[in-house]
């Protein structure tokens, strides 16, 4: 892993820690992880391998990322107050994010040093995974699935709160209207 890789991975972890403090849901809140995700895609994605069991691995890790993202999005507190939606990551949401990011970082480091190369190569051969790019694509899609699912879940929950409040459908005053899912 390069210094840039470490910086991007750590920045993605810090995004959620920053959200442990409540903040208003804005375009900036959504754009920062999307920009980091786009940079990673342009930097590392060199096509999607389709031979052997490549798509199976890509699909499985993408699904894991989506599950982590949905869970993290549902564990994030979302509330409506004074015409705005506010979000705050709970400890559980932050823990899921750190575990998944930590897994990807650890895998990247392990896969480039010592026995990791040997283990991944033998596993890949035994399971008909045809190229190292399969692992890169799988981990990228896992991160993309997690980011998109988390942000999508938070945005949808915020919109539902906004609509519910605009229609007068909540029995709570603005200061305590929260998504109760």
The yes-or-no verdict on residue 51 having pLDDT over 70 is yes
Contact 137, 48 (CB under 8 A): yes
Instruction: Read off the pLDDT of each residue in 32-36 and give the average, rounded to a whole number.
Output: 83
Looking at residue 60, its pLDDT comes to 96
The yes-or-no verdict on residue 36 having pLDDT over 60 is yes
The yes-or-no verdict on residue 4 having pLDDT over 90 is no
| 178 pLDDT tier (thresholds 50, 70, 90) | low
* 29-43, 56-70, 77-91: segment of lowest average pLDDT: 29-43
What CA–CA distance (Å, rounded) separates 127 from 133? 15
Can you point out the beta strands (E) in 43-152?
A: 77-81, 84-88
The yes-or-no verdict on residue 177 having pLDDT over 60 is no
The pLDDT tens digits of the residues spanning 100-115 come to 888 888 888 888 887 8
Mean residue pLDDT of the chain comes to 84
174 DSSP 8-state letter:
G
The yes-or-no verdict on residue 174 having pLDDT over 50 is no
**Numbers of helices and strands, H then E, in the chain:** 6, 3
The yes-or-no verdict on residue 28 having pLDDT over 60 is yes
Instruction: Read off the pLDDT of each residue in 130-154 and give the average, rounded to a whole number.
Output: 90
Task: Count the Cβ atoms, other than its own, within 10 Å of residue 134.
Answer: 23
Q: Which helix (H) or strand (E) holds 23?
A: strand 23-24
What is the phi/psi pair of residue 84, to 5°?
Answer: -130, 155
> Between these two residues, 173 and 57, which has the higher pLDDT value?
57
Looking at residue 169, its pLDDT comes to 58
Give the residue carrying structure tokens 């390069």.
Answer: 2
What CA–CA distance (Å, rounded) separates 66 from 80? 25
CA distances from 115 to 57, 64, 126, 138 (A): 21, 25, 16, 20
Looking at residue 170, its pLDDT comes to 52
> Given CA atoms 89, 94, 95, 96 in this order, what sign does their dihedral have?
positive
Two tokens at 37?
């995700």
């Amino acid at each position: 892993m390069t210094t840039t890789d470490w910086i991007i991975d750590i920045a993605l972890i810090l995004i959620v820690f920053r959200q442990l403090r409540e903040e208003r849901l804005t375009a900036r809140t959504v754009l920062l992880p999307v920009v980091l995700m786009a940079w990673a895609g342009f930097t590392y994605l060199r096509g999607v391998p389709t031979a052997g069991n490549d798509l199976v691995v890509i699909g499985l890790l993408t699904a894991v990322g989506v599950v982590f993202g949905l869970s993290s999005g549902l564990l994030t507190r979302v509330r409506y107050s004074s015409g705005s939606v506010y979000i705050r990551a709970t400890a559980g949401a932050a823990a899921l994010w750190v575990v998944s990011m930590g897994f990807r970082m650890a895998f990247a480091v392990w896969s480039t040093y010592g026995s990791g190369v040997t283990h991944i190569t033998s596993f890949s051969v035994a399971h008909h995974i045809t190229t190292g790019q399969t692992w890169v694509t799988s981990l990228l899609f896992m991160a993309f699935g997690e980011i998109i699912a988390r942000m999508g879940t938070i945005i949808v929950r915020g919109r539902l709160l906004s609509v519910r409040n605009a229609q007068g459908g909540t029995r709570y005053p603005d200061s305590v209207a929260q998504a109760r899912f």
